[in-house]
Amino acid sequence: MQNPYEVIPADVYEVIQESPLIRTLRFKPKKPITFKTGQFIEVGIPGIGEGPFTPSSSHYIVDDMDVTIMKTGFLTEQVHKLHAGATIGIRGPFGSNYPLEKFKGKDVLILGGGCGLAPLRSLFLTMLHDNKDYNSITFLAGAKTPKDCIYKDEVSEWRKYDNVRFIRAVDEVPPGEQWAEDVCLVTKLLQKINMKPDGNPAIVCGPPVMMKFGTFDLLKYGYKEENLYLSMEKKMYCGFGQCRHCVIGGYYACKDGPVFTYDQIKNEEAIWD
């Protein structure tokens, strides 16, 4: 990792309104940022503050990056006010990554919902780059309603690969909205697919309640604790193990995570909060 305090300026050149609350910012850092998919960066707005976000783009692209950000409070509201031409500051990358070398040759299952799809898009795009290295890739993606679905314009491209399945579900379809795909909780999609839990990895990211029940379902279907990868979002400040804001039991989420296997953290307190 480069100097963890160094702020690299980056020029925002496109802002995509993915859903009413979620935007993707595309930017070019003034200096290439090399990261491994699953790691996070600190995104800052000069004079406002900074927060941890995971790049949602492939780790093979180092001079151009996407972050997908949900509006939840003060900082993210300011991020949502940015337009093409704005300058932001990036620190990092920080933390652990998805161990792609362990996924090669396997049937990889990705389960996510809401803004948890951001790190999963990075993982998915990185794997698509070498898709023949994986036996199969199944991506189950959930959203509350059709208008909350993100990355809508990319789905048809993602469905073109022979060994890739991308299946979406929404919790409900309000009157006036159109939807021709599944209507159920995203975890219910697990019952629709021919799962191959034996020795294969599953990667989960989403709202805490989805991660909790998704993890329990995957264990019930036979996935091993050590093959379940969870991206844990804890309150973070420094991003590199100095401030203790992000402690999960004996771990620092910023340094030892954010990617943990379930068997690493299953006995720690309040992991789903």
Ligand X SMILES: Cc1cc2nc3c(=O)[nH]c(=O)nc-3n(C[C@H](O)[C@H](O)[C@H](O)COP(=O)(O)OP(=O)(O)OC[C@H]3O[C@@H](n4cnc5c(N)ncnc54)[C@H](O)[C@@H]3O)c2cc1C
**236 forms part of the interface with ligand FES (CB under 6 A):** yes
31 binds ligand X per the rule CB under 6 A: no
166 binds ligand X (CB under 6 A): no
92: left (phi over 0), alpha (psi -120 to 50) or beta: left
Is residue 254 a contact point for ligand FES (CB under 6 A)?
Answer: yes
Q: Is the Cβ–Cβ distance between 122 and 33 less than 8 Å?
A: no
Q: Total binding residues for ligand FES by CB under 6 A?
A: 12
Piece in contact with ligand X (CB under 6 A), picked from 4-12, 141-149, 151-159, 232-240: 232-240
One-letter amino acid of 45: I
Stretch that binds ligand FES, among 145-153, 161-169, 214-222, 230-238 (CB under 6 A): 230-238
The reply to whether omega before 197 is within 30° of 0 (cis) is no
Tally of CA atoms within 13 A in the half-sphere of 92 that contains its CB: 33
Of 67, 72, 71, the residue nearest 80 (C-alpha)? 71
* Binding partner selected for residue 40 from ligand X, ligand FES, none, CB under the kind-specific 5 to 8 Å limit: ligand X
Q: Which is nearer to ligand FES, 111 or 253 (CB)?
A: 253
Query: Smallest distance, Å, CB 10 to ligand X?
Result: 15
Query: Residue 147, class by beta-carbon neighbours within 10 Å (0-12 exposed, 13-18 middle, 19+ buried)?
Result: middle
Interacting residues with ligand X between 44 and 73 (CB under 6 A): 51-54, 68-70, 72-73
**Distance between CA atoms of residues 260 and 13, nearest Å:** 33
Instruction: Determine if 27 is a binding residue for ligand X (CB under 6 A).
Output: no
The CA distances from residue 61 to 56, 90, 163, 184, 206, in Å, are: 11, 16, 23, 34, 24
256 binds, among ligand FES, ligand X, none (CB under 5 to 8 A by kind): none
State the binding partner of 252 from ligand X, ligand FES, none, CB within 5 to 8 A by kind. ligand FES
Which residues lie near ligand X (CB under 6 A)?
40, 51-54, 68-70, 72-76, 115, 118, 233-236, 258
